[in-house]
Amino acid sequence: MLAIVAPGQGAQSPGFLTPWLEAPEFRARFEWLSTVASLDLVHYGTEADADEIRRTEIAQPLLVATGLVAALGIFPHPTDAFGKVSAVAGHSVGELTAAAGARVITAEQAMVLVRERGKAMAAAAAATPTGMTAVLGGDRETVLATLERHGLTAANDNGPGQVVAAGTVEQLQALAADPPEKARLAPLSVAGAFHTVHMEPAVGHLASLARSVSVHDPRTRFVSNKDGQVVHDGRDVLRRLVGQIANPVRWDLCLDTFADLGVTGILEMPPAGVLTGISKRALKGVETFALKSPDQLDDARAFCDKHGESAEIGSTPTWRMVVSPAKGTFHRAPAAADADVLGAGEPIGEVAGRSDRIGVTAAHGGQVVEWLVEDGDLVSPGQPLLRLHPENGAGQDGSY
């Protein structure tokens, strides 16, 4: 079972795009996405120095464009991907890359959104002196308690032994003076406290723009940074992408979902290395592939062939699928059990997992075509639960 992941801000390095742009078809695609984003991504990926590409408003569009173009190198005919890719996820801004790969939004929509996201987050970061520090090692509960004591947010929870603290400069200085026992601190070279309340102004700006974005339901399992759940409603994916700007990235929960799915291979889009490194430590026995340059594309395709397996949820213009957000036991809602028609947002049941119960709704509503599970069945993340035919005849399109 294959998962494809896209890295977040900080993965970029000076000149990393140079080998990709030697091929005319890749250069042409980057030039097109540069036009959409109103940024010279070719320059920033080849000639710009580390300080230039560290800027939030530059780094984020550069990363998303790189992932989108590299994906076409692996799958020149994008629909071929859905017969092999079982799940997609992105770390922070990488979620936009993943959303475009899952066909929730187009590449052009992703580039406009990431351009505005980067600009808005840079503006929010400039309002108050803030930053981020990686906390490596130490006891997890002790680390989280120490951050709370200093008023800091665990902005990135990346798995065992890697939490990123974010907050004001004063709060980070207090952490440096009083770190968690047996933990090492590594200040990050970023412009602000991303994924915290300090980014709320950016959320408002993106939410306003997103109201005009049309979406599709994902063509494969989309694993959300918010809680590691599989999301199969395009509008919910977009809402989560916007809200995630000011909320912690729970990559640890995304890794848990990969484990629940039985993922056997994880391929990281360029500039790769960070997420595959985390995966090696957290998911023992899962094979990884860090795609860094175009001369690896043949090997990347072979990796996808080796681990590829259809996500089974797909999409169709004539009916919608309701899928399980997580692993657990499905309990059907009594009112839904005998219903012929379900209203938009009506509960269909709950999935009882390891530590909580997650409600499942018929996001769009419609006529019940077929129940695909029984009450009390064990379900996996993204497993189809119910097939609905839209009452209004609408297809997979929706809007924020």
- Helices and strands (DSSP H and E) totals, the chain: 14, 20
Query: 34, 86, 91, 195: which is the annotated catalytic residue?
Result: 195
Taking the C-alpha atoms of residue 28 and residue 34, their distance in angstroms, rounded to an integer, is 10
Q: Which has the closest alpha carbon to 203: 236, 237, 240?
A: 240
List phi, psi (to 5°) of 103: 70, 20
Alpha helices, H only, 75-214: 94-101, 107-127, 140-149, 169-177, 200-210
Q: Is 195 a catalytic residue?
A: yes
Annotated catalytic residue, options 34, 92, 224, 279: 92
* Cα distance between residue 175 and residue 165, in whole Å: 9
Question: Please, are residues 362 and 175 in contact by the beta-carbon 8 Å criterion?
Answer: no
As a dihedral over the C-alpha atoms of residue 381, residue 399, residue 205, residue 9, rounded to 10 degrees, the angle is 40
Q: How many beta carbons lie within 10 A of that of residue 392, not counting itself?
A: 7
C-alpha closest to that of 256 among 217, 225, 292, 211: 225
Q: Name the token pair of 235.
A: 């509008």
Contact 173, 151 (CB under 8 A): no
Active site residue 92: yes
Residue 62 C-alpha from the chain's centroid: 16
State the Cα–Cα distance between residues 166 and 82, nearest whole angstrom. Answer: 37
Spell out the residues 6+ positions from residue 325 whose beta carbon is closer than 8 angstroms to its own.
Answer: 229, 230, 231, 351, 358, 360, 381
Supply 98's token pair.
Answer: 């993943």
How far is residue 89's CA from residue 221's CA, in Å, rounded to a whole number? 9
- Residues annotated as part of the active site: 92, 195
